[in-house]
Structure formats: C-alpha cells, structure tokens
A and B are shown apart, each in its own frame.
Chain A
Amino acid sequence: MALVARVLIANRGEIAVRVIRACRDLGVEAVAVYSEADEASLHTELADRALPIGKAPARASYLRPDAIVEAAVEAGCDAVHPGYGFLAEDPRLPAACAQAGIAFVGPPEDVMRAVGDKVTARAAAERAGVPVVPGTGRLSEASAAVAAAEEIGFPVLLTASAGGGGRGIRRVEGAADLPGAFAQATAEAEAAFGDGGLFVEKLIERPRHVEVQVLADDHGAVIHLFERDCSVQRRKQKLVEEAPAPGLTDELRTGLCDAAVALAREVGYRGAGTAEFLVDVAAGAFYFIEMNARIQVEHGITELVCGVDLVTEQLRAASGLELSVAQEDVVPRGSAFEFRINAEDPDNRFMPSPGTITGWHAPGGPGVRVDSGVETGRAVVPYYDSLVAKLMVWGATREEAIARGRRALDELTVEGIKTTRDLHRRLLDWDELLAGECSTESLERWLEGA
C-alpha cells in the first residue's frame, strides 16, 4: 500500500487551504476546484492545479458531485477530500467516487448513511452501549406521555414529532402540568404540521456541548484524540471552541472518549469523525446526539493539544494505510482555543459582511496558529459561509492560552469588512467563559445583556 498520489479538494476557503498544506507535507499533489466567484481566491492559487466547476451559487458548483468527480477524473486524481460542509456528508459523493474508482477521504457510503440518519445513528449508539437522550417514540395520548415522563424523570420536553421551528414545544416541570401542556402542544403541532403526534424527551438543564475526535483505519484501529468543548454558540453556530473541555472529571472524560470509540467501532468507521454529546457536568452524565462523518472546522485545537495532524491521518486512512499513531501515543498537553473570525457584524445582528479585504495582518508568535482562506486584496464573496479565518492559540495552561488569545486577537487586523474579532476579545473578559462554565445557552444570554 502507498499513499494516494493526487488529491482533488472538493471545497474552498480556509479548509481547502488546510488540506493543500497537508498534501504538501506528505508530498502529495493537490488539485483545487473553484466556482466563478473563487477564480482569484487563495486556495485556487496555492494548489498545484485548479479546475473551474461552475457558477457562483454552490448548487451550481461545490454541491455538484458529478462536476467534482468529472474534475477529479480529468486531473488524474486518485482521491477526493471533501473538507466540511458542501458535499462532505452527502453519500452521493462517496458513491460517485467509488464508481469512478477514486478513493474518498471519509467513511464508506453505507457508514455515512448510517451515521447521518438520526434514527439509525441513535440505534447504533444504543447497540454500542452509548447513552442517548432518554425519550419516546411518537405519542398521541397524554396518559402515555405522563407514564413515559414519570419513567424518564422531570423536567421533560414535549416536541412535535413532525416538527421544527419551535412550534409544538413545551417544557414540563411535573406530572400535574403534563396533561394541559400536552393538549396545547398537540393542538399547535396539529395546526402547524397537520400531525399532533408528540415526543417526550428528557430535558438536559444547562447542557455543555462536548465532542470527541476519533480516527479509524481499515486495519482495525479505532482511537480517540480526546474532547473539545463547543458550548459557546449562537443559534447553534459554534463561535469559540476549546480543548480540553474545562471542569470534566477523569471519569466523565474517560466515559465520553470510550463511548465515541465504541460507537465508531459499532458502525465500522474509517477516517476522522466526531461524536457529539450533551453533557450534564453536575450530574456527571452525558448523552450522544450525533456523529459527524468528516473533519470538523475546529479540528485544529485537537491538533494543538495532541500533536497529531488529523488531515494527514485522514489521507493515510483513505489510502488504506495504518494510522501513524496508536492510542497510547496520544497524550494531550496544555490547552487550546479557537476563535472563529466570521465576516459578520456583531453590532448589527450578525449581518453578513462580504467585501474586499483591504488590510490583513495575521498574528504570530508562540502558541498562535491562523488557518485562513484570505489575505490582503482577496474578496470575501457573498455566496458561501461567513468563516474567513480560524485564530487558534495554545498554552501550557488554560490561563496561558487565554492570555495568548487576548494578545493574538489584539494583533489581528482586518480592514474592509466587519468581523467577529472585537466580540471575541470581549468574550475573553467574560467571567463565565473564563471560569469554564459556559453551557450552550450562555452566549445568547450574554449577548442579550451586553
């Protein structure tokens, strides 16, 4: 077995640049693709070769498996790396790659389907002995909901089985309140979705979002690279991530990591993946929510604390090689944070802020890493995600990492567009974050009060 020789990167922006760098480190050729809007972008320029794949809207370019595989064949690539977003978790891409005899950097198509579906992923977790959020199937009678809630334990959440958008949702504190809440929620669900069926689910109070990085190869190795805490979110979008998760007991950390490995083994995983959990730190409990079958945006902080290059390991696994690290080699050191520098205006309801970057200075020095898809003179185009760069910092202690985060954010200069830089700088003076106590609700509460 040998490494793949030429990789097509089916993505853009900072993650395309990140994968090009991994290819360079391995002596592998990197082929970029670009839409009409990205012809003059950094990833297009840095790659060994770049091919146009369509018009600016993603549906006409980066979301077309046929165009991606056609470009890979034309350029003589033997592998396709999907990055994150776009087609990264679309089973049509591994299927099209398999048909063309090209390696896909990710899990096989059937594994991607199994972990991508909420019902089959939950079933796999249960088979692997991984705790899931306790809940019921579809119920249509209040009496059945009372019985289920008594067993699960209050408080519970009633949610519309057909639902979404916050309708047909009720928080219920005790059995006495349940019949009334059920009647209201079922009427709302009936009106909104034409289906009054409800789920009863355990309500996790002030949950933390903690995820575990796993790597697996075709030779039976499944390892974890410990956890990241991604609780600092706005509208379910992560803004700050850190590794390790602060305040976990050794028992809780071991439980999470073992659960992620058990799940990856159960589904026959290959490559890099992430198991996401809700964690109730006070109760010492955790619940699996979903598995992401791709490299994550925030993978870099795991690389900083574990000293493992996750993208080169992905490329090894996709080549049919063994991982270069064993579980006992993974010894986390220090603390790392990631700050997502988005082209958004936090002072104006996070309004997107596309435009040309007229001035860019990336910070450097000890413990600082910047993964960016832009630089001075490049355009942040309006058609795709608002993430323009990831500022990551590492310190021997959490305190040192935070100090370096303040220093690096102060040094970062972005002119021509609005960004989240100043917001991040304020977050590093926020008691709740400094104490490592943020839940998934904390940032929105803080923003309302700020």
Chain B
Amino acid sequence: MATTSSAAKRRTGSDGSGTSAGSDGTGTNGEPDAASSSSRRRRFILPLCVLILCAVALISMAAGRYWVPPNEILRILFNEVSALFGGDGLVRRTWTEQEATVVLDVRLPRVLLAFLVGAALSLGGACLQALFRNPLVSPDIIGVTAGASFGGVLVLTLGLSGGWMVGGAFGFGLAALAGVLLLGRLGGRDNAMLMIVLGGIVVAAFFNALVSFMTYLADPYSELPSIVHWLLGSIAAASYDKVLTALVPVAIGALVVLALRWRLNVLSLGDDDAAALGVNPHRSRVLLLCAVALMTAGTVAVAGAVGWVGLVVPHLARLWVGPDHRILLPASLLLGGTYLMLIDTLSRSITSSELPLGILTAIIGAPVFVVLLARSQKKAALS
C-alpha cells in the first residue's frame, strides 16, 4: 500500500511541473484536477473493499432460515477471539446457545469457504486475463476447471478421502493446463494466445466427456448423487476441515500471484514488450499459470465447479480500479470473495431448499457479463 500511495502522490506532483511537452501542438496537458482526484480515489479503493466485505460477511452470517441479530454475531465472534487469547468472559453472554452454534459451527465456516472460493477464482481470473491479454479468459475457459472436476469425480468414484481430492483436482487441473499450453504451441508465435483459448475449449470438452463417462459408470444409488451434487458446485456442506483443505492451495497460489503483481503489469503489455523490459515472458507465464491451476484446484476440491466468478468479478474490478495490477489484484480478491458470499447468502435465502451455487453464479453472471462487455467496449479497458 505504501508504494501505491507514494506513486499517487508522485503522479500529482509531476503534473504541475511538466508543461513543456504539451505546448507544441502534439498533445494537450493532462488535467491535474482529474489526476489528483483519481489518485485520491485509488487510495480508498482497498479499504472500501474491506469494508464492503465485512458488511456482507455480517449479513451473510445473520441471514438464513434462522435469523441471528448482527450485534449478537459480533459479540459471539469477539468472545471467541478473546477466548483464544485467554481473556475469557470479557463479553457478557447475551446470546443463546443455539445462536452460537448456528454462527460458529454452520455459518462461519460457510462464509469463510465462500470467501476463499470466490477470492481464489476471481484472483485467478484477473491473473489469466492479464497473461492472455484477453478479458474473456477465466479458469473455466482455459480447461483447468474441467480437468480438476474430472480429478475430483475420479477421486469420488474411487471413494478416497479429502486430501486425495485436492491432489486429484490439482493433478488433473495441471494436466489440462499442460494440454492447453501444448496446443498453444501449435499456433506458433503469432497465434499463441488464440490457440491457447481454442485449446482450452478443446481440453475442457475432452475432460467434460471423461466426467460424463465417469458419471455413466457410477453406481446410480450410492455414488451418482454425490458426484452430481458436487459437480453443480456447492458449499452447503462447509466445515472447518474444508476451509483448511482449500486454504493451503489457495493461499500458496494467491501469494505467488500477488507477489508478481508488478510483473503482471509488464506481462499484460505482451511478450515482446515484456522481453524488452527484462522479463522472461515464458517462465513467468508458466509460474503464474501453475499458481492459478493450484488455486482453481483448491476451490474445485471443496466446492466443485463454480463458474463465471473468475470472469465477471475481475472484469468489474478492472472497470472500477483500472488495469494496474498492484490494485486490481487485491481488489479482485476482495470483491470476488464478497461476491460469492453474497451469492451463497442468496442461494440459501431465496428458496426454502438450497440452490446449488454454480447455478446461481451462472444465472447472475451471464447477463451481468453481457452488460460489462457492452460497457467495456466504450471504456476500452483492455485492447
């Protein structure tokens, strides 16, 4: 954050002095007022994102079939945290045992899981969109989700445990990615990006066929229901175990992507520019793609295939904060987590029986994406 704000200060500073360039008719000066107001806006973006996140998390924990007042939620959470540090009994017990159970055992893991999945998918989408210089790319479009789904279904069919789930999802997600990259090579240097996107469609179709084959083979009474429900994408069965299972791969992948946030700016200019600026585009790309595959596999392992989040949220974030990944990446992460929490709250509130998450993200995501696409044509967020 320190770098960001100093960059913003600097930008406003250089504005007043640099009037020499625009005086000869080739260009007009930047408007200092607009510049300083935009940099001031940039500084408040991330705190604002965190604020929205907290508000949505609170609503998400309060809402549902059993309403828990937000002030009680805060008390329960504060009591738990203070208990961790040995300050037991700091908060007067005003809540019922039932409320504590609902908040701590049911809704908190669910909110955490929704945040993790949404944040990972959205961050992965933002990263891929920069790498491929294409706002239409997301983890599900380049085949990673399909590969990871197949890995998950394979593990479910074989009846293995949770750790295998992450391993299987990651292994096949990576295999799908490798397939896509190999197909990308067919296109040569000029068409590499197009071939990777087309390759993603081919690989996704292939792995989806394998998934269909596995469901066809599965026992219709014991295995099939769990496979189908898992494939639809759901975090209904959230637990702290699942949160931990997802946290490890997501945190590792997210750290890599966030650490390379400046590199992503350079890579988003294209391979030629990146190489000219001293960045090896191929090595950076493979590293970042692996990080995204790891994050995606982590989410697929706990929540199944949740589509559209990685496409819509980074797009929205880019329209709001601009293409600088120093801000875009954390903003995508926070907004993605918030978005999925909101969707999850809706999915268990709007009907008496729960809707699987993947259905809602697609129903909401598709039309929102069309609107964003139309708007970004005007703003030309990416070339």
A binds B: no
Residues of A in contact with B (beta carbons under 8 Å apart): none
List B residues at the A interface (Cβ < 8 Å): none
